[in-house]
Structure formats: structure tokens, C-alpha cells
Structure 1
Amino acid sequence: MKKYIAECIGTCVLVVLGCGTAMLVGCDAANGSGYLLTALAFGLTIVGMAYCVGNISGCHINPAVSLGVLLSGGMEKSDFIGYVVSQCLGALIGSGLLAVIFGTGGVVDKTGGFGSNGLSGVGGNAVAGLLVEIILTFIFVLTILGVTSKKANHGSFGGLVIGLTLTLVHILGIGLTGTSVNPARSFGPAIFAAISGNTAPLAALWVFIVGPLVGAALAAIVYKYLED
């Protein structure tokens, strides 16, 4: 149970700090500072959580990562289900906290949708968005599998490498899809955006569930082939 609680807390923190930063500073590609601050917020959160709850749950805080670990033989199916449920719950709690902070504080949400993901950067093309998410998640999960492999020799720098990789994929992906690579991170904000009257993120949510899961599965298959 403790590892499920750790996953819930970690995902909650990711949504609050990552999506919260996007809401506060905006993440339009034309606004370079907001763009980079959002990318760094997501990446640095992963670094912090990796050293905080990594020894408890592995700090997946992402269903796509959990799927990659499952397919690589690193966890049981029962744990996978528990992790995904905990991650989605954490994302909902994090989005709820943002709703309270931005609602009661009168702060303007510059994303208009709780930092949710969308397809405007790819002209509303779901296929293009799906491809972006598959590629970015493939890179991210492949890195995680490599860094956490028993053959790896990264010492205590694993969390830093993973966090920097998440920052990197955000730098490319924010202007295209907002960068999900994490179904839970997309799920929570999309639900609260819909509650607030913006249903567009919810309509496109399937892209940010299917894309990351496919990318993670491909990463697991490729890494298993390369490692054997």
C-alpha cells in the first residue's frame, strides 16, 4: 500500500508543479520564458520525486512508465493496476488543488484548461498528435529502462538523467501537443477543464492515453531486444 500512496503523492506533485507552472506563466511557443519554465518544472519535479519516493515505489508516477516496466518484467500485473489507479487519483487530486489555488486566489489560468494537453500545435490533427506522443514517450521510457537497468552504472545520477530527459522532450513537445508522455498527467487536468466548461481537452484525451502507452510498449520491446 505504501508504494501506491507514494505513486499518488508523486503524480499529484507533478500535476501541481508542472501543470501549475504552465497555468501561471503560459507555455505558448512564442513565449520563450514560459515555454522553458514549464519544461523545467516537469523535469525538475521528476528529479525531486525520484530522490523522494524512488526508493519506495520506483517513482513511475506515469502509467506509460509503469507499462514499460511491466512489459520489461519489472513488476507484476496486480501492481501495475494499483500503480495506474494511484497515479490517476494523484492527478485528480493535483488538478483539484490547482482549481482551489487558481479559483480562490483569482489567478488567471493562462492555458485555459488546467495545463491540459491539446492538438492545436499540430493543427488539430489527431494522427500527428498521436505520432508526436508515441515518439516522445518512446524516447523517455527507453531512457528510463536504460538508466534503471541492472547493467547500468549511473550511481545516484539516475533521477537527474530521467528528469533532464523529460525536460528535453517537453522542449520539443510543448509547442506541438503540450507534451503528455503521461496518461495520468493528461487525465486529471482534462477532467477539471471539462468541469470548468472547456471540453476540448477531454475530447482529445484518447490521443494522450493511446500515444504514450504505445510509445512505452515500443520502448520496452526495443530495449528488451537490445539488452538481450
Structure 2
Amino acid sequence: MSTTTALRDRTALVTGATSGIGKAIALNLAGQGAHVVLHGRDQARGEALVKEIEAEGGTARFVAADLTDAEDTLRLADEAGAVDILVSNAGLYEFTPTAATDAASFDRHIAINTRAPFLLVGALAPGMAERGHGSIVIVGSSAARLPAPVGAAYGASKAGVEILTRYWATEFGASGVRVNTVSPGPVVTEGAKAMLGEHIGVMDSTNARGRAGAPAEIAEVVSFLAGPASSYVNGAVLFADGGERSTLPG
């Protein structure tokens, strides 16, 4: 965990913070001096991350919540309190064909990937606006713009939150609240390893960079958008995907 003071006296709520990209984001923000409110579903993992951050000299607390439940999502916002930074990272991905995606699965994607950010922004952004400053960063996905034979529900849920980013940037921007999205490509996380197993290496062939990303690399981009260095960036979707591969004719 790097240590700077760029976000000292700022409070950040990070959803899905106990593993993968979310954990890297939480560690990065804490390393810059922010007090981090960690969200997840697993109390033990949440408390372990609090201890890890504290051991590095940072401050954090954990709030468990089920983002498939609208009321529990609003409770999370209430318990988080007056935050200066919201990082909506929690996500669900089930890469199945449309015919194999039932209504319950579709609803879960929308609830976690689209509705939860909507409710959190609605609950927290007005307070940021009253205080005259705030940064909201949505962790999106390249699936929102690069269709595949599977995962339509996931792609739709991420495309939805991208357009919401632009609406929120317009709605709250004049009050000092910036809203942006980071759109990662393939990233090697625990979830990706569990899903792909011994085939995890295929992710390295999907972009111009020639390798999949690391959670810490996405965290750096999120921290840039959350902090003062990006003060004139609002309503942007920033691609952190290693670059799209070009194909030669013939």
C-alpha cells in the first residue's frame, strides 16, 4: 500500500471491497490518506481488510450489505454517512447465453450492477453537492461496448451504468461533484481464476498490450479519478483495457 496524503481528511465508500479490484482500490485510497468505508458480504474478510489497512497506518471500517436488496443498499448509504468519494465497484458477472439466462439471473445483474449504484448515488450525491465537493467513480466493463456470444445481461447492466454516469455528471457537476466511469478490460482476479481455471492465460491474448491487467493497475486509475489531479474530468468513461487489438485485412 503506497503512502501519500493526497486524500487526507476524505472519506471514501468502496463497494465490493473485500477482494479483487475492490480490495486494490480500498488499499490504494487508504494509502493516500482517505478513511475507507469497506463494503462486502463477508464479515470475516471485511474485518481482515480493516486490520490490513490499519497495519499499514491507514483507517477503515467495514459495513456488510446485500446489494440485491434495495433497502439494504440504502442502509449501507446511511451507515457510510457523509462520504466525499463513492467508488461503486461491486459487480456480478454470469457469462451465459441469453437462452440460458433466467429472469432471476437477469434481475440480479441489474440489481447489483445498475440499481445499487443508482440508489447509492441518489442517497450520497446530494450531501456531496451541499458540501460543494465530491467524486463518484463507477467501475464499469469493456463488455458494455464489446459484445460477445455470452454475457448479454452483464453487458446490458454495465452499459446502463455508463449512461447513468453521464446523466449524473450533468445533474451534479455544477455543484462540485464529479462522476466518471473506469472501464476495465480483462483483469486477473480471484473470480477470473475461479471461472477460467487453467485457461486463465487466454486473457493475455485479448488486447493490444498482450496481457491481462492487474487489480492494482485499475486501482491507480480509480484513484486518479477520485482525487484532485482529475479536477476537470467529469462524465468520462476511461478505458483501462490494454488497448483494443487491431486486425489486418486479408
Q: Give TM class, smaller chain.
A: 0.3 to 0.5
TM-score w.r.t. length of structure 2: 0.32
Structure with more relative contact order (C-alpha pairs < 8 Å, separation 6 or more): 1
Higher helix share: 1
Higher strand share: 2
Rg (Cα) greater in structure: 2
TM-score w.r.t. length of structure 1: 0.35
